[in-house]
Amino acid sequence: MNQNSMTRQATSTLREEESLFSAALSSSELPASRPTALGIGERIHRIAFSTAPPATLLVRSIVGAVFLLEGILKFLNPQELGVGRFVKIGIPFPAFFAPFDGVFEIGCGILLLVGLMTRLAAIPMIINMIVAITSSKIPILLEQGFWKAAHEARLDFSMLLGCIFLQLVGAGPLSLDTLLAARSRSGSSDPRNPSQRAPALDKAMVTLLAAGMLILGTPSRSQAAESASQGYAQATRASMRSMAGAAPTGTEQMVEVRLTEYKIEMPLQLRAGRTLFKVTNLGGMFHRFEIEGVGIEKEVEPGVEAGQTKSLELDLKPGMYEVYCPVHGHKKAGMSIRLKVT
């Protein structure tokens, strides 16, 4: 009897435990199913979220202003800060990458200034500064030592660390990122439900992105094309005027020379004697023109600006000459030819 009683008690206890487990399982709040894929607005909302203090505006302002200024200067002064600098430090395809980098610096600089998509805008600028340091400051370190490199690289490292800081902490409360995030929360009946605020934020972000692409892309390309066409037209008119003139008395021949990026166009064979070289810069960069060989090493002083035409008169002897642009990097880029004088 005792054994049967114990068996019944154990069975009853087991059934009670099973019933309690089932009740607990049915009454508990199971985690909600995984939400559907987030829209672009919600993703950008999460990226824009920031707990940084208001003083972050100071860092954003200086970093964004420097990038904006440098991007504009790449177009205003291409010889020193744009294509010419890219040629000097050995970056491939400088005629493409210099304007490309300038547009990115202008665009990301504006985004950092207003605090829009700050974390995303900081990423290409971090890459930009790493490339700048490795391509221009590391060679100075290897050739001229630490102190010279430290002096030259102080701004580069400041901008790099500023971009990393903004990428980590975000834009702060005084920014468009925070404004858009606050509006999306206030316009939602349930702030915990991202599906209710994502559509409106999607439309706003897509509109801002489209407007930014139009503002940064189309005007820069059109202005660059207009500037290039104007420079080419001025240089062509100068070349035509120089071609219309006769060679000075005592000069046996006049040679038209055209300089572009990165090419020298002129006859490869001339006859010996007094020769007047009319050198026209049809490109958009500053160039120089030098002839070396058979006891001659002369150049147009101090060089030829874009759109200008200058002259160089020489008494050529029979032999082989090298004609090139001595601006750093231009000869290596293709501005060098061999001239035969008979």
pLDDT of res. 205: 52
CA distance 261 to 87: 11
Structure letter (DSSP) for residue 232: H
SS3 content of the chain, % helix, strand, coil (to 5): 60, 15, 25
> 330 in helix, strand or coil?
helix
Higher-pLDDT residue of 335, 14: 335
Query: Residue 324 above 50 pLDDT?
Result: yes
If you write DSSP's letter for every residue of 261-314 in order, what string do you get?
TTEEES-SEE-SEEEEEEEEE-SSS-B--EEEETTEEEE-SS-B-TT-EEEEEE
Delineate the domains of the chain, giving CATH numbers in brackets. Answer: 40-188+196-232 (no CATH), 245-341 (2.60.40.420)
Pick from 66-70, 72-76, 129-133, 283-287: least confident: 283-287
Pick from 145-154, 180-189, 198-207, 212-221: least confident: 212-221
Mean pLDDT of the chain: 77
pLDDT of res. 144: 85
pLDDT per position as a tens digit, 193-243: 544 444 554 555 555 555 555 544 444 444 444 444 454 445 444 444 444
H/E run at residue 323: strand 319-324
pLDDT of res. 245: 42
**How many CB atoms within 10 Å of residue 224?**
16
**pTM (predicted TM-score):** 0.51
pLDDT of res. 215: 47
